[in-house]
Amino acid sequence: MRINEITNWAYGVTVILTVLSGGAFILSTKSADQERVAVEEHLALDALAEELALGAEERSDEARLYVMRGEERHLLAFQEKEADETRLEGTIGDIRSLGGSDAELAALVEVERHADVLDKVEEAAVAAYQGGDRSGARETLFGPEHERQQTLLLETVTRFRQLAGTRTEGAVATAKSRADWWDTAAKAMLGVTAVLFLAVLYFILKRRVAVPLVRMTGIVTRLAKQDYAVEVPLDPRQDEIGEMNKAIHIFRENGLERDRLDAERRADQRTKDLILHMMHRVQACQTQAELAEVVTRFAPQIFPNLAGHLYVLNDSRTMLAEMGTWLEPRHSTASFPMDACWGLRRGRPHLSNHGQDDVPCQHLGESDVTGLCIPLTAQGDTIGLLYFEERPGHEMAPESARLYLELIAENIGLAIANLQLRDRLTNLAVRDALTGLLNRRCLDEALARHAREAAETPLSCLMIDIDHFKRFNDEFGHDAGDVVMQYVAQMLLDTIGAAGTCYRFGGEEFTVLLPETGEIVAFDIAERLRQKIATTPLSHRGRILGLVSVSIGIAVSPAQGPVTTLVTRADAALLEAKAAGRNQTVAAGAAKFPEEGGPTPLKQINRPQSPGPRAP
């Protein structure tokens, strides 16, 4: 029941009980008044009866004294008593007006009758005495008849007093009992009213209002401080406090939901910020290795619940090679064929899960992981693959987050495509299209950079020329000549490796720069290269091209001259090798060239003769 209803009921019952107790008090007062009236009536009747009895006796005594003594004062007193006859009748009338019972009224009639008889006897005696019959008067007043009449009068008065006393005592008792009953009822109603009031105070104000309000005050205070972790116990009562409790519970739930939405918004904003930072850095990457490092650094921050790989398609567009990984995915294949991924086949993101209805990608094998493959594309071409898998104890990103994954994949794909395109354009700009070696411009830039930054650091230069190259073009065609140059370029790369950098100088001439390398080491490298080329026969389209030989000239800076003359000195040494019979390695001595003061003879280091046959 609602507190308002309980309060209304309690108020109504209290008013009713108050009215009833007031009525009981009024009735009790009236009963007390009736009791008082009955007592007064009893006293009045008793006094009147006593007055009747005393009046009769006093009148008889005065009459007797008069006839005995003959004194006038007794006669006067008798006459005065006789004058009270009218007052006696008035007294009897008063007794009748008090509403006596029939028995009382009958007793009064007898009292009047006996009083009249007694008066006549006494008046007759007084008259006889005054007439001279004193003995007769005395005999009359003291005789048996007078005594009998006087006794009857007194007995009748006594009986009347008894009847009146019995009736008035009963009325008093009844009035007292009624007054006591109404007084008890009024007190009981007041007691019930007090108990009801105390019950309302305790059960309603304290138990159902004060205690819940005190408890909810602390809860509301914490909620006002946005402490939504406070527990709000549900109150099943169907009253105002229960409704207030439900309202507070709803407010807390709304606060928790608002906090959750704010947390999601902040997390979403943080994800967007991280994606934006990631995209800025991806766009600033100079190489694919840098891009892979950026992806592996930011991907765990954006999606901490997802491990993954970054795969890039190789140049032959048949295999995917891993470029980056993060958070240790359980599926860690370094490479796999392009057709092993359903995402790459379909050109759309594909979710692989052995527990789902869709088919899993073949590159996952029999693993039970849940993986998401997102193709990396740019302008309709497949560039690579972004692979995510759920970590143990976590779930795959929801549908709302996959939009971010696809956005990241789209930007990474564009960035990789741009880097690959830039690499291709760079290669076209700095590399020779036929041999893949760096071109003459790169050689000039490298020499200028060394002269500018490390002029005092040793730098050796090998100038290499293919012996009798025109013969390959004339006898076997230009395609064979291209094969020969590609072969020599490959031998250069294989032999030099990380020791230096290979360039195509022009025509059939090549240049090798060996940083931090002295003349002796450079000569050993040149001899190893010359012998390796000279001992490997070459064929083209089923035709034997024969052995290929090269002549090599070596120059060193700064021991033999500045970097600005390094290529010129190495080329001069190459000319000397070719003039000496080709298939030789010649090192230039410390010489001054025409631009520095005129020609001087070259110095040739003693070298072993090549064991291989010479090319024609």
Q: Mean of the per-residue pLDDT values for the chain? A: 81
pLDDT digits (tens, 9 = 90+) for 98-146: 556 777 777 777 777 777 787 788 778 788 887 777 788 778 778 787 7
**The pLDDT value given to residue 616:** 32
- Range with the poorest average pLDDT among 3-12, 173-182, 251-260, 318-327: 3-12
CA-based nearest residue to 485, from 461, 463, 509:
509
**The pLDDT value given to residue 1:** 57
pLDDT digits (tens, 9 = 90+) for 529-578: 999 998 888 888 778 888 899 999 999 999 888 999 999 999 999 999 99
Q: All domains of the chain, ordered by start, with CATH? A: 3-196 (1.20.120.1730), 285-428 (3.30.450.40), 432-596 (3.30.70.270)
Contact present, 472 and 481 (Cβ < 8 Å): yes
| Burial class of 196 by CB neighbour count within 10 A (0 to 12, 13 to 18, 19+) | middle
Strand partners, 510: 464, 504
**The pLDDT value given to residue 465:** 95
**The pLDDT value given to residue 201:** 67
Q: Does the global pTM surpass 0.85?
A: no
pLDDT at 449 over 80: yes
Per-residue pLDDT averaged across 598-616, rounded?
A: 37
Residues known to be catalytic? 508
pLDDT confidence tier of residue 594, bands split at 50, 70 and 90: very low
Highest mean pLDDT pick, 20-29, 169-178, 384-393: 384-393
**The pLDDT value given to residue 591:** 37
Contact present, 66 and 78 (Cβ < 8 Å): yes
Return the higher-pLDDT residue of 204 and 159: 159
What does the DSSP 8-state code read for residue 610?
Answer: P
**The pLDDT value given to residue 85:** 57
Contact present, 545 and 538 (Cβ < 8 Å): yes
Q: What percent of the chain has pLDDT over 90?
A: 30
Q: What percent of the chain has pLDDT over 70?
A: 85
pLDDT at 593 over 60: no
pLDDT digits (tens, 9 = 90+) for 472-504: 888 888 888 899 999 999 999 999 999 999 999
CA-based nearest residue to 466, from 534, 512, 527, 521:
534
- Range with the poorest average pLDDT among 162-176, 190-204, 301-315, 597-611: 597-611
Expressed in percent and rounded to 5, the helix, strand and coil fractions of the chain are 65, 15, 25
Strand order in the sheet with 501-506: 501-506, 509-515, 459-466, 550-557, 585-587
pLDDT digits (tens, 9 = 90+) for 363-418: 888 777 888 999 999 888 899 999 998 888 777 767 767 888 888 999 999 999 99
**The pLDDT value given to residue 131:** 78
